[in-house]
Structure 1
Amino acid sequence: MRITQGTFSFLPDLDDDQIRAQVEYCLNQDWAIGVEYTDDPHPRNTYWEMWCQPMFDLKDPAGVMMELNACRKAFPDSYIKLISFDSTRGFETVRMSFIVQRPKVEPRFLMTRTEGNGRSVHVTLTTQR
C-alpha cells in the first residue's frame, strides 16, 4: 500500500533533481524548509520527528539536499518528508510538504467499522506490518 500524504502524494516518487527543483521554488518564495522523518505514517500522526532545525534564511538548495541526504543515511528505512513554512504573516504556515523517501516495505492499514447507537459509526484505523 502506498502512503499518500503531502503535495505530490499521487505522483510517482520524485528523484533528487525534481526534489531540488521544488526546494529551489520554495526558497525563491522565501519559505523556510524543514526535514522530518517517521516510521509511523498513520494519518493522525501529524508530528513527525524533526531532523534538524528549520532552515531559515537559506538561499541555496544544496544545503537542504545535504541535510536530506544526512537524514536518509541515518534513517534508511523510514519515511522522510520536506516541509516548507511561510512566515510572511507573522506566524509559520505550512505551504508545501512532500514525502522524499519511503521504506522498502510500506505498512498496511486495517480499518474496522463498528456501528453504535442510532446511525453512528465508529472507525478504528490500525497499522499492520
Structure 2
Amino acid sequence: MSEMHDYQSSLGDPSSRRFETFSYLPEMDTDQIRKQVEYIVSKGWNPAIEHTEPENAFSYYWYMWKLPMFGETDVDTILAEAEACHKAHPTHHVRLIGYDNYKQSQGAAMVIFRGPMKN
C-alpha cells in the first residue's frame, strides 16, 4: 500500500485551504479546463457556473451566475460565460458544475478560477 499524505490545511492559513477535489492539484491551465468542459458536454450534463468570495468557499451556498445552461453543447459558449463571471467578480472563486439530469445530482464540480485568499 502506498504511503498516505496528510494535507495540512486550516482555517487560520488561507493559502492552505482546500474546497474540492481538484484544489489539491496544481491549478488547471486553459487546455485542461477546456477538456473538463468537453467531458461535461460529452456526458450530456447541463453546465452551470457559480461564484463566491474566497472566505465563503466552505459554505454550501454559492451565487449562481445566470441560469444553468440547459442543453448547451458549445464548449466556447460555456467557457465565455465562465470568463464573463470571472471578469464580473475578479475577487471570487468561480466554479463550473455539470448537472446530471438522470441522477439529479452534480456529475462534476470544480473551481476553475481562484480568487485571492485573504488572511
Q: RMSD between aligned alpha carbons?
A: 1.4
Q: Contact (CA 8 Å) 1:7, 1:96: kept in 2 or not?
A: no
Corresponding residue number in structure 2 for 1:12: 26
One-letter amino acid matched to 1:41 = N
Normalised by the length of structure 1, the TM-score is 0.74
Corresponding residue number in structure 2 for 1:79: 93
Corresponding residue number in structure 2 for 1:112: none
Give ranges in structure 2 of 5+ residues lacking alignment.
Answer: 1-14
**Higher-strand-fraction structure:** 1
C-alpha separation in 2, matches of 1:60 and 1:42: 28
Aligned length: 104
Q: Contact (CA 8 Å) 2:57, 2:93: kept in 1 or not?
A: no
Q: 1:95 aligns with which of 107, 110, 114?
A: 107
Does structure 1 residue 37 correspond to structure 2 residue 51? yes
User: Larger relative CO (CA 8 A, sep 6+): 1 or 2?
Assistant: 2
SS of equivalent residue, structure 1 residue 9: helix
C-alpha separation in 2, matches of 1:3 and 1:100: 16
Normalised by the length of structure 2, the TM-score is 0.80
Q: Contact (CA 8 Å) 1:32, 1:57: kept in 2 or not?
A: yes
> CA offsets, 1:63-111, max 9 Å, x none?
110101100110111111111110114xx3011111111123x14xxxx
**Higher-helix-fraction structure:** 2
Q: 2:77 aligns with which of 53, 63, 80?
A: 63
For the pair shown, which has the larger CA radius of gyration, 1 or 2?
1
Distance 1:59 1:78, change over 3 A: same
